[in-house]
């Protein structure tokens, strides 16, 4: 029998009944009750009030039941530590259970409870488990020591747990060794870098870690390799010994193990280099062995490629010889994502040499003719960086750049001019013959950096350009509109021109530029530089020449080079970590804040009661009422999980807010159809089934699964919708899915609430059942009263193959599902089935579905409100209204109450004044003025409301009302 039934119930007194079942002497009934509690907890319901009854169920020999209870305990131990204290005695007893799994679960759960005084009870069981005969218990206990240290460091040291962890490094089981090592590393981080070395690595410990390296799991290997990289040795023989044992790890299938092994070997290279002869042969041999594994990493998926490339970038900066012969591997593929291409370009530039420059230039030239503008720009700049770095290849690089300039592609020409300026800076007075070619392309310059580069070239070589004054004058025509970068270069270039060729035209230009830069600009940098030049020129022209025309230092390519000390730190300590991806030390982006530890005396006395009018089973706190109220408010304000994200099904009651998704295309996710039962994975609860009953709504924000909160208040069970075939055919198509399940439907207002009228067509060869519906967060907070659909078919459970059935879905307004302004009529819906997974479709919320029956007001109040409200929003609707009477009838049918009707003098227009109220989403009262000529095209609509963003709702929904299609 499937356990999917535990996720659907309509019982009001659910908590009370669960309490009774948990206290039952019937073991199967008690187990069923615990499963229901776990199911409710999984979808985000607060079932903490059942804690005492669930804890009592721990006294059992049934392993499955005990696992379920511990799952419950682990969840509430993290969020409500004061409740977990109640189970201390049971923890202590279970830590001596004959079953090693139970012993490990007991210690693990106790470590999750962050209350200081509970640690006194944890110490003795933990001490026993650290010396347990079963390796699973020992490895679990090792991690628990690190958790205990975070709560009470002094206690861990006083009870000798650190010494026990160090002894466990000699354990016969490699996983115990790895976990003990991981715990010591975690404790070392918690203790801070200034504390003593807790690992105390000795030669004996080193040998034991190397022995365990080949036998433990891949993540255990990562922990061991990280500790080997941190091992400080100055003996080249020790380094060779470590490297020889680590080299086989380069063949591992896990990329994390490979990069961690590379980090250890690079560290060993540094030590060997200090030995006799510099260890050149050894380093060369190791380099040959390191290259293939690094190359293999590039055969992975793009995300892993990117991480590998960021790490390889650091390795190439530190030891370029390792991949010196592998530059072809980093040539970009046509289907590489842009972020991978950019990283490959960086590494290609670093590996470029006189031997391979022809291959690299040929490849870069191809890239510069791609369609991706950003990639093309980066490729052209790469050619320039190769020219700056490799003197012998400069002429070949310039020839490639000139060929690219001949393509006359604007952004290619501009990037080429920018890098040629850098080449001139690197090799002055060598390649000025190409200036004429550059001057022929002035018309294509429209970017500030390209303009400033060209202006710099003209000013720097003014004496070699016959018409330099004319070229600069063309730029000066737009001087006031240029960016600061271009203005500064124009100012300096004009001064250079005047000093090199003091003609009459140059003098006029310098006067105009200095005047404009000192009197008509707000940029202080530009103004100050202009004043300095003015004073230099007016007092001592020779001194001005010495300053402005001074010989400039030769540049080098340091655009992507890290500081040597930072590079050393990243390669030797942080390779294969996030720091190596960011190219930043971890302290710049990692917070070292620790979780708060609850003091026992701070825990308020709590009582469990079900008060009349309150939510059944609500938890009441005497001392922490204010704090609980604040937490509830914060939870209500937080975003609900994204409807379209079914991957995160955490059982924590209030998960982090997720960004709202907006997928428009219909997609099918069969794996997601098992999402609810997968939350209890590993407990063997059976396959998925969905019954036609429903259960109360889960709190907002409880889960990212759109069907995680299966709920409906009493009386909200959707009934079948009797519709004729003609009516079904008139429903708009929301999702056309040939060969699958198609959806037609519209939002209407029935029984004083919005209702979704849906028609579902099954074009699959098998019956479709288990239908459930959910809406994403929206501007009006619309949410199904029940997520389980009861179909208008015999039994109301399944749609037969080729069948079409109708369903009526009442919608409620959930304030916690209201999105912040601006208001939008978009509605994203997910429909789940057992057979075809989850279907997504988009719809719009109609005006007539929202307007309330009692939304009228007095005419005098309307007039006063019209005067008091902000200015109206107006629009002209392209439709024709037969007559004023017809318009009034159709408005009234949609709960738009007409308060006045008059003829507009001399225009032939009818003016109708109406109002409506929409509580959903906090829209409020809307005031409308409609002006039109009966039978003629066009209706002028003016809307006034407290919220300015509500007008579009009226403009979008009013045509359907006036045309009688609402």
> Mean pLDDT for each 10-residue chunk of the chain (966 residues)?
50 73 85 89 84 80 82 76 72 85 85 73 88 93 91 87 90 91 88 69 84 88 89 85 90 90 91 81 90 91 93 92 90 91 92 92 92 92 92 92 90 92 88 85 87 92 87 89 92 92 88 90 91 90 87 77 87 89 88 60 41 33 36 35 33 34 37 31 33 34 36 34 60 84 90 90 88 90 88 74 89 88 88 84 90 90 88 87 91 92 86 92 91 87 88 89 83
Which pLDDT score is estimated for 428?
86
pTM above 0.85, yes or no: no
For 866, the enclosing helix (H) or strand (E) is: helix 859-868
For 362, the enclosing helix (H) or strand (E) is: helix 357-367
CB atoms within 10 A of CB 121: 17
Chain length of the chain: 966
What is the rounded distance in angstroms from the CA atom of residue 963 to the CA atom of residue 958? Answer: 9
Query: In terms of C-beta distances under 8 Å and separation of at least 24 residues, what long-range contacts does 953-958 make, across chains too?
Result: 953/823, 953/825, 953/847, 953/850, 953/918, 953/923, 954/847, 954/926, 954/928, 955/875, 955/877, 956/825, 956/844, 956/847, 957/825, 957/846, 957/847, 957/848, 958/847, 958/877, 958/928
| DSSP assignment letter at 563 | P
> In 3-state terms, what secondary structure has residue 390?
coil
Closest CA to 789 of 758, 765, 749: 758
- 935 phi-psi bin (left φ>0, alpha ψ -120 to 50, beta other): left
| DSSP assignment letter at 492 | H
The DSSP line for 646-702 is -S----SSSPPP-PPP---S--EEGGGGGHHHHTTTTS---S----S---PPPPTTS
* Sign, CA torsion 553/558/563/567: negative
Say which residue the tokens 């007075």 belong to: 429
Any idea what the Cα angle at residue 481 is, between residues 476 and 486, rounded to 5°?
Answer: 60
Q: Where are the alpha helices (DSSP H) in 599-641?
A: 625-637
SS3 annotation, 724-781: CHHHHHHCCEEECCCCCEEEEEEEEEECCEEEEEEEEEECCCCCEECCEEEECCECCC
Give 799's strand partners: 768
Phi, psi of 31 (to 5 degrees): -65, -40
Beta strands at 668-669 and 772-775: parallel, antiparallel or unpaired: unpaired
- 209 phi-psi bin (left φ>0, alpha ψ -120 to 50, beta other): alpha
CA 82 from centroid of its chain's CA atoms: 33
Q: Which two tokens stand for residue 399?
A: 């020839």
Cβ(179)–Cβ(143) below 8 Å: yes
Rg of the chain, C-alpha, whole Å: 37
Which pLDDT score is estimated for 20?
85
Give 348's strand partners: none
Cβ(368)–Cβ(404) below 8 Å: yes
> In 3-state terms, what secondary structure has residue 836?
coil
Cβ(524)–Cβ(482) below 8 Å: no
CB atoms within 10 A of CB 933: 15
First to last CA, the chain: 46
Give 745's strand partners: 758
Q: Which two tokens stand for residue 357?
A: 């420059």
Which pLDDT score is estimated for 492?
93
- Longest Cα–Cα distance of the chain, Å, equals 109
What is the rounded distance in angstroms from the CA atom of residue 610 to the CA atom of residue 612? Answer: 7
Cβ(123)–Cβ(159) below 8 Å: yes
Beta strands at 837-844 and 668-669: parallel, antiparallel or unpaired: antiparallel
> In 3-state terms, what secondary structure has residue 837?
strand
Cβ(185)–Cβ(165) below 8 Å: no
Q: At what angle do helices 484-500 and 504-519 cross, to 10 degrees?
A: 150
User: Half-sphere exposure of 918 toward its Cβ, with a 13 Å CA cutoff?
Assistant: 29
Which pLDDT score is estimated for 802?
86
* Sign, CA torsion 230/235/240/241: negative
Which pLDDT score is estimated for 438?
86
């Amino acid at each position: 029998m499937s356990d999917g039934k535990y996720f659907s119930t309509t019982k009001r007194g659910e908590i009370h009944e669960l309490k009774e079942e948990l206290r039952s002497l019937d073991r199967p009934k008690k187990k069923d009750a615990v499963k229901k509690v776990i199911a409710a907890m999984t979808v985000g319901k607060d079932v903490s009030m059942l804690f005492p009854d669930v804890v009592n169920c721990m006294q059992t020999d049934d392993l499955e039941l005990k696992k379920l209870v511990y799952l419950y305990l682990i969840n509430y131990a993290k969020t409500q530590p004061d409740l977990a204290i109640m189970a201390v005695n049971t923890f202590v007893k279970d830590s001596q259970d004959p079953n090693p799994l139970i012993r490990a679960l007991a210690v693990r759960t106790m470590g999750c409870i962050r209350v200081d005084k509970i640690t006194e009870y944890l110490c003795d069981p933990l001490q026993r488990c650290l010396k347990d005969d079963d390796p699973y218990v020992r490895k679990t206990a090792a991690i628990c020591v690190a958790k205990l240290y975070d709560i009470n460091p002094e206690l861990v040291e006083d009870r000798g747990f650190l010494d026990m962890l160090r002894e466990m490094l000699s354990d016969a089981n490699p996983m115990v060794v790895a976990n003990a090592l991981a715990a010591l590393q975690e404790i070392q981080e918690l203790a801070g870098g200034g504390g003593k070395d807790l690992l105390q690595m000795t030669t004996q410990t080193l040998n034991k870690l190397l022995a365990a390296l080949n036998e433990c799991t891949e993540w255990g290997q990562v922990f061991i390799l990280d500790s080997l990289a941190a091992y400080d040795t100055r003996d080249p023989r020790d380094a060779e010994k470590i490297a020889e044992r680590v080299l086989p790890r380069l063949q591992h299938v896990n990329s994390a193990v490979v990069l961690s092994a590379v980090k250890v070997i690079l560290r060993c290279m540094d030590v060997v280099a200090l030995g006799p002869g510099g260890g050149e042969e050894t380093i060369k041999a190791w380099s040959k062995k390191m290259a293939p594994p690094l190359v293999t990493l590039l055969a992975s998926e793009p995300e892993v490629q990117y991480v590998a490339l960021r790490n390889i970038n650091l390795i190439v900066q530190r030891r370029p010889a390792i991949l010196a012969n592998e530059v072809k591997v980093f040539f970009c593929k046509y289907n590489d994502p842009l972020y991978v291409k950019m990283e490959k370009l960086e590494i290609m530039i670093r590996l470029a040499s006189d031997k391979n420059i022809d291959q690299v230039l040929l490849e870069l030239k191809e890239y510069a003719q791609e369609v991706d503008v950003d990639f093309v720009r980066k490729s052209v700049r790469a050619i320039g960086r190769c020219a700056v770095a490799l003197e012998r290849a400069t002429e070949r690089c310039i020839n490639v750049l000139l060929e690219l300039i001949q393509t006359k592609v604007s952004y290619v020409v501009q990037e080429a001019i920018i890098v040629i300026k850098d080449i001139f800076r690197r090799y002055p007075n060598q390649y000025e013959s190409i200036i004429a070619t550059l001057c022929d392309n002035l018309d294509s310059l429209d970017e500030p950096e390209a303009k400033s580069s060209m202006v710099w070239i003209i000013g720097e070589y003014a004496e070699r350009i016959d018409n330099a004054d004319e070229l600069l004058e063309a730029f000066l025509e737009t001087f006031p509109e240029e960016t600061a970068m271009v203005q500064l270069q124009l100012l300096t270039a004009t001064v250079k021109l005047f000093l090199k060729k003091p003609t009459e035209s140059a003098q006029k230009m310098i006067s105009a530029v200095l005047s404009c830069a000192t009197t008509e600009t707000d940029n202080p940098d530009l103004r100050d530089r202009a004043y300095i030049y003015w004073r230099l020129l007016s007092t001592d022209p020779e001194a001005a020449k010495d300053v402005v025309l001074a010989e400039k230092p030769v540049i080098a390519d340091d655009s992507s080079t890290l500081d040597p000390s930072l590079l050393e730190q990243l390669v030797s300590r942080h390779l294969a970590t996030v720091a190596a991806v960011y190219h930043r030390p971890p302290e710049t982006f990692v917070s070292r804040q620790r979780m708060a530890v609850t003091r026992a005396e701070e825990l308020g006395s709590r009582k469990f009661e079900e008060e009349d009018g309150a939510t059944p089973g609500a938890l009441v706190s005497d001392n922490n009422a204010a704090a609980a109220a604040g937490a509830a408010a914060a939870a209500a304000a937080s975003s609900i999980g994204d409807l379209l994200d079914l991957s995160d099904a955490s059982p924590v009651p209030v998960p982090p807010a997720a960004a709202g998704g907006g997928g428009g295309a219909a997609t099918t996710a069969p794996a997601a159809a098992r999402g609810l039962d997968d939350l209890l994975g590993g407990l063997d609860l059976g396959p998925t089934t969905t019954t036609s009953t429903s259960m109360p709504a889960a709190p907002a924000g409880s889960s990212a699964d759109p069907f995680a909160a299966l709920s409906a208040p009493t009386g909200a069970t959707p009934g079948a919708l009797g519709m004729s075939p003609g009516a079904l055919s008139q429903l708009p198509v929301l999702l056309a899915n040939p060969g699958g399940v198609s959806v037609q439907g519209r939002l209407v207002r029935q029984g004083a609430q919005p209702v979704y009228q849906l028609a579902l067509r099954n074009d699959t060869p098998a019956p479709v059942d288990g239908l459930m519906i959910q809406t994403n967060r929206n501007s009006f907070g619309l949410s199904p009263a029940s997520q389980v659909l009861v179909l208008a078919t015999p039994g109301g459970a399944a749609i037969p193959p080729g069948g079409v059935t109708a369903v009526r879905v009442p919608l409620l307004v959930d304030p916690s599902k209201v999105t912040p302004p601006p208001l939008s009529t978009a509605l994203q819906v997910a429909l789940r089935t057992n057979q075809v997974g989850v279907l997504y479709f988009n719809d719009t919320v109609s005006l007539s579905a929202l307007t309330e029956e009692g939304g009228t007001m007095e005419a005098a109040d309307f007039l006063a409100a019209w005067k008091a409200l902000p200015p109206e929003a107006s629009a002209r609707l392209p439709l024709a209204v037969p007559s004023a009477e017809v318009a009034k009838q159709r408005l009234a049918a949609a709960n738009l109450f007409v308060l006045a009707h008059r003829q507009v003098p001399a225009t032939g227009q009818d003016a109708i004044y109406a109002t409506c109220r929409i509580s959903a989403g906090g829209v409020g009262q809307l005031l409308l003025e409609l002006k039109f000529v009966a039978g003629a095209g066009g209706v002028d609509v003016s809307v006034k409301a407290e919220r300015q963003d509500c007008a579009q709702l009226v403009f979008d929904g009013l045509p359907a009302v006036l045309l009688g299609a609402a």
